[in-house]
Amino acid sequence: MDLTLHVWRQKGPKDTGKLETYKVTGVDSDQSFLEMLDVLNEDLIKANKEPVVFDHDCREGICGMCSQVINGRPHGPHEETTVCQLHMRRFKDGDEIFVEPWRAKAFPIIKDLIVDRSALEKIMQAGGYVSCRTGGTPDANTHPIGKPIADYAMDAAECIGCGACVAGCPNSSAMLYTSAKVAQLAVQPQGKVEAKARVKNMTDAMQAEGFGNCTNHLECQASCPKGISVKFIAKLNREYLKTIAG
């Protein structure tokens, strides 16, 4: 199939970027979106032009590196799919496709489609862990954890830290990302001990990093390649309420 791409090009953080238009022809429907961009880049290089830079690594939907907004949808039109797993069979001949980077104040653009997501790191560092020392831990089966709880924790833990929730949120809030970790740890006995400090510190960090506030638009879940549920945001809110209760 033949497609018309409008790709965001931006030389650097200070540059005001713009959308450039490219024609790609003979795209195979079994190609992944990134493989389609690879081909475009090969052509650009051969034509002595700067190839489009974009973040990617595992190309199997798990590392969370890839980050593109395609036709206004973070990670593209197909639900619960990362860009690297998005295949061209989701498009049809003659389509116009707009490719843009994550947009949020907390995610400054580095170049073209690559943004700086270190703000997400800061949120984790604020409390996304159980403070256990290496070694000094009891046998793994000491605390049985009911399957439903283990499954709930796993559902939350599937977050790949891509930032699509922020890119999709009208407020650029990182609430889904933050809540996924808060919820995963809060339901398990190991994590309960620090639960109160954790929810406070992580949400404060989110705010400090310049993310917006959550006003329950629920867009994040629809943008999430792992379908992380907004019920975890509700859980985070409950955890926060507990801190008020003292």
Of residues 148 through 177, those in contact with ligand SF4 by CB under 6 A are 159-165, 176-177
Say how many residues touch ligand FES, by CB under 6 A. Answer: 12
Considering the rule CB under 6 A, would residue 145 count as an interface residue with ligand FES?
no
Considering the rule CB under 6 A, would residue 29 count as an interface residue with ligand HEM?
no
- Rounded Cα distance between 180 and 157, Å, is 6
Host H or E run for residue 221:
helix 219-223
Q: Which of 27, 66, 214, 224 binds ligand F3S (CB under 6 A)?
A: 214
Strands 96-100 and 3-9 turn out to be parallel
Question: From ligand FES, ligand SF4, other proteins, none, which one binds at residue 106 (CB under 5 to 8 Å depending on kind)?
Answer: other proteins
Name residues contacting other proteins, limited to 53-72 (CB under 8 A).
53, 55-65, 69, 71-72
Let me know: does 110 contact 18? Beta carbons within 8 Å: no
Name residues contacting ligand SF4, limited to 221-240 (CB under 6 A).
223-226, 228
Q: Which of 176, 195, 206, 224 binds other proteins (CB under 8 A)?
A: 206
Q: Which of 176, 180, 205, 236 binds ligand F3S (CB under 6 A)?
A: 176
x-marked contacts with ligand HEM along 198-227 as a string, rule CB under 6 A: -----------------xx-----------
Considering the rule CB under 6 A, would residue 219 count as an interface residue with ligand F3S?
yes
Which of 99, 100, 96, 93 shows the shortest CA–CA distance to 4? 96
Instruction: Give the type of residue at 124.
Output: M
Taking the complex as a whole, how short is the minimal distance between the CB of residue 73 and ligand F3S, in angstroms?
A: 13
Which of 30, 34, 12, 10 shows the shortest CA–CA distance to 20? 10
x-marked contacts with ligand FES along 37-66 as a string, rule CB under 6 A: -------------------xxxx-xxxxxx
Instruction: Give the type of residue at 200.
Output: K
Which of 224, 141, 143 shows the shortest CA–CA distance to 179? 224
Let me know: does 120 contact 163? Beta carbons within 8 Å: yes
Q: Which of 153, 164, 195, 228 binds other proteins (CB under 8 A)?
A: 153
Let me know: does 176 contact 160? Beta carbons within 8 Å: no
Let me know: does 180 contact 198? Beta carbons within 8 Å: no
Strand partners for 23: 4
> How many residues appear in the chain?
246
Contacts with ligand HEM by CB under 6 A lie at 215-216
Residues in contact with ligand F3S by the rule CB under 6 A: 169, 171, 173, 175-176, 214-220, 230, 233
Interface residues toward ligand SF4, by CB under 6 A: 159-165, 176-177, 180, 223-226, 228
